[in-house]
Structure 1
């Protein structure tokens, strides 16, 4: 068994929830957890397996951070100005089914690709830039900004639920329409009534190793792209990434900031299923969540032998 099934909350509710959820034809899965716990890739894979919509909550805060950088807004002094910009901005998250693995360590599961548009501009890569990484936690800690982002999150979720997404997956027969959203306060603040709440966790060192692998894969892709273009400019080569140990320290600092911020801090929802994936494969954690979702939908699990 993947993890202690005794930690699964409200298993006895499955029977009473079945008819209600299927009849209503929507289902929300909230996946929370600390930085680099695998929330995004796991949520995308779960959405594809079940044929649900997907919303990357963190990308909205990254868009807000990009707006701050582009407009030279000091978060300490003018957070209200940034909140006003967010309220006027149009954020769109588009999901494209994938049939290939994004990285060797993700096993045989395909993870959908996500395109993030800010006022119709594709900023998918720009919001992952180092300067955004350094500022996003500060941006996300401000109450006025969180309130502006919350409005966008709920709008996107409503839009995702209104679209027939079952075509994304051959495994989606009989699955109600709905959405998977990942972040740090989805199950506690954004969707406190979500039908399934997951808290995805892992040790700081395990998360640091995964983050380093992700950075290393990105560097290899950049090098391959430069080679394909015939570039020999050493100044354009990606800078060396920090050590695993340094990344682990940075993640622990981010955890502290997320847990201790005043507004919507990182918490484990009281009815969440806690999954520590330190020693789980990517496939195991995805299939565990999809089986939990199917069971709460009144459908038979597909991976009960894991």
Structure 2
């Protein structure tokens, strides 16, 4: 009996060491076209696993906002000035896990999605970088090779800092804190930024499904703004600058074409990526399936085999 107990304790200790090592080094790269649900999914996966999170696309949106604020409408002629602005700017991503479940909506159902605040030079620009004028220009900004090189340094620095975020693991001596992994989403994470990521996901959906989700995001933001400012509550229609679902679908298809055909780090499916088409999936299904894929590769028990 003592021999068996000692063996079980030793095996438990070995499993804990494996968990520490794998959790410390584990990177999940989630790529896919615009509005495929990468950001909300990655945030929920990070919360589920206790990992850090980096919104790669928000950094390009910050670069686009810098271009707009400095009247750089033509990235091809103003790239040098924009790169200089990026190199002089600071970007911080505040990941705020929450144990509470938000109200159900079209995108997330009832699954909790942590809030993420984007700080550009210590200014919260989380809402501003999601405005239509940024949406229209971000593809051109992201297609410039010099801009991508400047952003790459920011991405890797943020990911390195996120990996030091501690997470709790149950061991034989109780709960211990170990460094966590990181989840990053974008369009070239698994192919360029982290080609050696332990798990690569390519998240896809039809253009119309993505357009409906994007419109729902805009509508939700509008409702929140009206709730915060009674002056905006007079009308029930979205502002004129908010496009229709059909217009959004056309913009997304144009964005897809630009991302796939750009010269530098085009949108590609990594050879070793797991492709998930979430057109007909619930948000919970895609989040839990990715989390369990990660657990499989870390040698941990799956939690959602009932999906």
TM-score interval w.r.t. the shorter chain? 0.7 to 0.9
1:78 equivalent to 2:81? Answer: no
Contact 1:175/1:297 (<8 A) preserved: no
- Write the mapping of 1:237-252 to structure 2, written as runs, cut at 5 A: 238-239=239-240, 241-252=242-253
Compared with structure 1, are the counterparts of its residues 265 and 173 closer, same or farther at alpha carbon in structure 2 (3 Å cutoff)?
A: farther
TM-score (norm 2): 0.86
Question: Corresponding residue for 1:44?
Answer: 43
- Write the mapping of 1:147-226 to structure 2, written as runs, cut at 5 A: 147-166=149-168, 177-226=180-229
TM-score (norm 1): 0.86
Take 2:188 and 2:143, find their aligned partners in 1: how far apart are those partners? 12
- Between 1 and 2, higher relative CO (CA 8 Å, sep ≥ 6) is seen in 1
Take 1:209 and 1:233, find their aligned partners in 2: how far apart are those partners? 25
* More displaced stretch, 153-162 vs 214-223: 214-223
Compared with structure 1, are the counterparts of its residues 196 and 237 closer, same or farther at alpha carbon in structure 2 (3 Å cutoff)?
A: closer
Question: 1:35-78: CA deviations, max 9, x gaps?
Answer: 00000000000000000000000110011111111122231202
Question: Corresponding residue for 2:3?
Answer: none
Which of the residues 115, 130, 133 maps onto 2:132? Answer: 130
CA positional deviation for 1:285: 0.1
Compared with structure 1, are the counterparts of its residues 271 and 20 closer, same or farther at alpha carbon in structure 2 (3 Å cutoff)?
A: farther
Take 2:103 and 2:176, find their aligned partners in 1: how far apart are those partners? 25
CA positional deviation for 1:146: 0.1
Question: Corresponding residue for 2:96?
Answer: 96
Compared with structure 1, are the counterparts of its residues 149 and 232 closer, same or farther at alpha carbon in structure 2 (3 Å cutoff)?
A: closer
CA positional deviation for 1:22: 4.6
Q: Secondary structure, in 3 states, of the residue corresponding to 1:207? A: helix
Question: 1:6-41: CA deviations, max 9, x gaps?
Answer: xxxxxxxxxxxx987753522100000000000000
Compared with structure 1, are the counterparts of its residues 39 and 89 closer, same or farther at alpha carbon in structure 2 (3 Å cutoff)?
A: same
Q: Secondary structure, in 3 states, of the residue corresponding to 1:287? A: helix
Contact 1:22/1:298 (<8 A) preserved: no
Q: Secondary structure, in 3 states, of the residue corresponding to 1:104? A: coil
Take 2:32 and 2:88, find their aligned partners in 1: how far apart are those partners? 29
Contact 1:96/1:112 (<8 A) preserved: yes
Name stretches of at least 5 consecutive residues in structure 2 with no aligned partner: 1-15, 170-174
Question: Corresponding residue for 2:304?
Answer: 303
Question: Corresponding residue for 2:21?
Answer: 23
CA RMSD of aligned residues (A): 2.4
Compared with structure 1, are the counterparts of its residues 37 and 237 closer, same or farther at alpha carbon in structure 2 (3 Å cutoff)?
A: closer
Contact 2:31/2:38 (<8 A) preserved: yes
Compared with structure 1, are the counterparts of its residues 83 and 240 closer, same or farther at alpha carbon in structure 2 (3 Å cutoff)?
A: closer
Question: Corresponding residue for 2:12?
Answer: none
Question: Corresponding residue for 1:7?
Answer: none
- How many residue pairs were aligned? 282
Take 1:297 and 1:22, find their aligned partners in 2: how far apart are those partners? 10
Question: Corresponding residue for 1:6?
Answer: none
Take 2:17 and 2:167, find their aligned partners in 1: how far apart are those partners? 21
Contact 2:61/2:129 (<8 A) preserved: yes
Contact 2:28/2:197 (<8 A) preserved: yes
Question: Corresponding residue for 2:52?
Answer: 53
Compared with structure 1, are the counterparts of its residues 237 and 189 closer, same or farther at alpha carbon in structure 2 (3 Å cutoff)?
A: closer
Question: Corresponding residue for 2:284?
Answer: 283
Compared with structure 1, are the counterparts of its residues 189 and 220 closer, same or farther at alpha carbon in structure 2 (3 Å cutoff)?
A: same
CA positional deviation for 1:119: 1.2
Contact 1:79/1:142 (<8 A) preserved: yes
Take 2:41 and 2:29, find their aligned partners in 1: how far apart are those partners? 12
